[in-house]
Structure 1
Amino acid sequence: MAANLPFKRVVSFLQKRFFNAHPLPPNPKLSSKTRKRKIKSESILPNLSSFPIQYLTNSCGLSLESAIKASKRVVLEEKNKKQFDSVVLFLKSHNFTNAHIIRLIEKYPAVLNCRITSNLEPKLRFLVENGIKGLYLPKLVVSSPAILFRSLEAQLKPAMGIINRYVSCLDRLLVTVHRGSWLLTSDWKGLQENLDCLIEEGVPEKRIEELLVLQPRCLYQDISKINYAVKMIRCMGVKPTDVKYIQNFRVIMSLSKLSWKRKVSIFESLGWSTKEVILTFTKSPHCLSCSEKKLRNAMDYFVNTVKVDRETIIGYPKVLMYSIEKRVVPRFTIWKILKERKLIRRTRFIWMLNKSEKEFIDLYVTKYSTEIPYLQQIYMQSKGGLNPGCKKLKKIDYDNKL
């Protein structure tokens, strides 16, 4: 009996040490926090057998995760099941696929509570009458479910009226509402005020159509910003009927006053006058839509490496938008090689830069591959890649290879 006592003590020790048969009392603070988290997690755990979750998964096709999220944003009572079923069937009768319905309910689960005769039916009929039918209808509604929760008379009809007034054909209308589905649900009075400002300035309706189709968001800004842009373009000497007017307007509306000043200062730091900057901008407005970093890098490379004068940049401002790494540097490399070998004499670098990729390769790479066997490899490696059939050069040494 006494011989077994040490063994029992060993067993007891092992249980306490390794099997936690009699664990030490936990830290009271940690225990309190753990209990709070446990109670909280238990209180928010959804009832997976509840009617909303069961209906959303079984009848609407939502995943369990999506159904749980949707059930927290809408009240679905079992007594209204027939109403929910009728909404789903109604949507399917208007070209809504199962995928459309799932996405719509995920975004706006309250759609299941919509009344068909007084809400869904008249609004969808209105959209169809305006040419938004077939698969265009569910795409529009799914992208902007708020359409189903806005007043038909006070919001949808006036907003659609503005679009129809300026957009000339059905195809462009479909493009407009596809790109800016929110046009039908946003402040149409503010939109009309901004459009009136452009019309009073003399901007043709054709140009306004371009704005609505290509970049409608710039028309949904404060009227003071619209007036600022209009006044600024007028001071630059750009006429409202000019093709470039809308491009100038779009860029100015996309920039804050501070951003505009910073980008202009990049040119001025290189000795440019304000007049020269404005001339460059009016010729190619999108050059100032580039980031400050890209603009600074481009100006630095053209001025300090390529040695391009400002008159050339003013004449060809589009070059500021080209990728320095993938276009400018590789082509400048080829241009220098061809100039050193006297294979080209009067060809300006800026002309080579404006060629399409195919034209450039045909005229300046393939054409001189006989005289310079490694020219293609040099060009592709300077772009950061190689054609499948080209052997990679470990390190390009232009002088030795040429």
Structure 2
Amino acid sequence: MLCRNQGFAVAASHFGRRLISSSRISPGRDDSAVSYLISSCGLSPEAAIKASNKVKLKSFEKPDSVLALLREYEFSDTQILTLVRRHPQVILADAQKTLLPKLEFFCSIGISRLDLAKTLVYNPLLLSRSLRNHFVPAYTFLKKVVISDLKVVSIPYEVRILMKGPEFFSQLVVEVHQLGFDPQLWSHCLEKRRHGNDVKAYRSWGWSDDDIRSALRLWPLCMTKSEKKIMATMDFLVNKMGLQSGNIAECPYIFRYSLEKRIIPRCSVVKVLLLRGLIEEKKLSLSTLSTTSEKYFLNRFVTRYLDEVPQLSDMYQGKVDIWKPARF
């Protein structure tokens, strides 16, 4: 087990106390916890005082072991700071008996240390869940449903879903079959509990069962979008751009992007170029319009045509609205 150098510990403690001297610590507050959170975890005096209400340090042994383990698993200083600020109790965990087995489990199912650190910082309460009662049963279920380890760890929400209990997954299977979807698309059911009108919205634009299944396979998170988002995006693409509704199901990634900030500006430029005969429709794809980088799009569709259409830059920036009837 890695421990701090004793001299460093003393110096850090004094340093932390100097930092918090101006914060007017209340009588009875655990000064050692505040000092430790500042000097060893990097918290600000204010954040340390707040976090100290949730931790009582009897010694530095446990928190030192936790920090050493997190660094061994490639958590950066910033990530450790954020993790401790959001979930101070983590420094009281038994590093070897409680924390290490969970980290080893996540890595054993194919989650990289880099992704694991990001996930746990974003959702630190994962570390409070039981390995035996939550993570292992959940993973076992998912592995049976989606066949392979690789598919399990590539599913959206794959780590957070491991917090669920066995009864949750039993109900999930029922919902999958009721909807008539492939069990591998279970994530749709998970999100459908939050957004009940997603499928209905797509169907209102003529999407068939095959269209919905195709979109789900390509990007399951298209079913997490609100009805308002779906309806507005479909209305623009179908009624303004003239696209076939079914073809949009072949590029569900389009719903990932902002209608006002990305889709409309790019489509405005492309629409004008099409009307001027400067580009051919058959050489375009919805994927090109939506998923390519801004640099590529500007070079491909704006910069090269500025001599022919000087207003393109203004159109892209939203300064010119080409969708008003008068513009045509």
TM range (shorter): 0.7 to 0.9
C-alpha distance in structure 1 between counterparts of 2:85 and 2:199, whole Å: 42
Match of 1:104 in 2: 48
Match of 1:244 in 2: none
Distance 1:270 1:89 in 2: 60
Partner of residue 236, structure 2: 301
1:186-205 CA-to-partner distances (Å, cap 9, x unmatched) read: 34322222112112335433
Q: How many residues align?
A: 304
Q: Which residue of 2 aligns with 1:50?
A: none
The higher relative CO (CA closer than 8 Å, separation ≥ 6) is in 2
CA offsets per residue over residues 167-202 of structure 1, 9 Å max, x none?
565444433433332222234322222112112335
Amino acid at match of 1:310: S
- Is residue 374 of structure 1 aligned with residue 318 of structure 2? no
1:362–1:347 distance in 2 versus 1, CA, 3 Å = farther
Preserved CA contact (<8 Å) 1:218 1:253: no
RMSD: 4.0
Give 1:106 shift.
1.0
Cα distance in 2, alignment partners of residues 59 and 340 from structure 1: 65
CA contact (8 A) 1:96 1:138 kept: yes
**Structure 1 residues not aligned, in runs of 5+:** 1-55, 77-83, 240-247, 385-394
| C-alpha separation in 1, matches of 2:296 and 2:18 | 58
| 1:85-136 residue CA offsets vs partner (Å, 9 max, x unmatched) | 555666677x334x4564233123253x4311xxx41353255246257836
The structure-2 alpha-carbon separation of the partners of 1:92 and 1:333, relative to structure 1 and needing over 3 Å to count, comes to closer
- Counterpart pick for 2:298 among 332, 357, 361: 361
**Equivalent of residue 280 in structure 1, options 215, 228, 235:** 215
**One-letter amino acid of the structure 2 residue matched with residue 339 of structure 1:** L
The partner residue of 1:267 within 179, 196, 202 is 202
The two structures have a TM-score, normalised by structure 2, of: 0.72
Deviations 1:243-297 (A, max 9, x none): xxxxx5555423317x24x111112223333332222222222222222111111
From the superposition, tell whether residues 356 and 172 of structure 1 become closer, same or farther in structure 2 (CA, over 3 Å). closer
**Correspondent of 1:190 among 111, 124, 134:** 134
2:106 equivalent to 1:163: yes
In structure 2, do the counterparts of structure 1 residues 164 and 122 end up closer, same or farther at CA, with 3 Å as the change threshold?
farther
Counterpart in 2 of 1:256? 193
2:83 to 120, 140, 149: 140
SS in 1 for 2:317: helix
Change (3 A) 1:376 1:218: same
Please tell me the residue identity of whatever aligns with 2:52: Y
Q: CA offsets per residue over residues 321-361 of structure 1, 9 Å max, x none?
A: 33322333333333333333333344465455244433333
- Structure index of larger Rg: 1
When residues 358 and 190 of structure 1 are mapped into structure 2, their CA distance, relative to the original with a 3 A threshold, is same
1:114 aligned to 57, 64, 75, which one? 57
Letter matched to residue 106 of structure 1 = K
